[in-house]
Amino acid sequence: MPLIIAIDGPAAAGKGTLARRIAAHLNLAYLDTGLIYRAVGMKAQREGLEPVKAAQMLTPGDLKAPDLRSEAGGQAASKVASIPAVRAELLEFQRRFAEHPPTPAVGAVLDGRDIGTVVCPNAGIKLFITASDEARAGRRHKELLERGESSIYARVLEEMQARDERDRNRSVAPLVPAPDAVVLDTTLLTADAAFEAALRIIADRTHA
């Protein structure tokens, strides 16, 4: 059974950066689950496929397309994400990736919002990365400015809190830590400190 590390948490808590570093450090495959709906939407457009067919044909290579993080990628994702059959296919895609990671990886790191609770409830290690609303909004605000986009901190904070509220209270796969997840608060941690803390948790769990 490959090592599966599930990393969940709200936006801008640092889970994506942390997941990529852990995967690289431990020679594990990494799946950014936030990209898969964008990949399906863009694949459907590029190849003239029905969304469900595009989801069925999705490969890890499709997640490397350079246009996924564009505005067009976001629009394409929104068109396919509401289709139940697409969601079902992508749930299976995520599980296959975790259980049969691309070689030569000996396991996988998946980050998202329901990895430990829905996608991989049997993951050997589960982390829930969080931070204060203000810290997360500050990080996202800084990120937007560095990308040359206009941003108002107060608006970023308000939109982030609204999204968190929706995600925590939705009936399907709400944003909550799995009962056996270790919660890591990164509010006062640098990226390096969060990485070191996560590695200690992983070491404790794998050697238990």
pLDDT tens, 31-47? 988 899 899 999 999 99
- Is 205 within 8 Å of 125 (Cβ atoms)? yes
The reply to whether 59 falls in a domain is yes
Residue 73: band (very low, low, confident or very high) from pLDDT cuts 50, 70, 90: confident
Domain count, the chain: 1
Residue 95 structural domain: 3-132+179-206
Specify the pTM. 0.87
Residues 6+ apart with CB under 8 A from 208: none
Q: Is residue 122 part of a domain?
A: yes
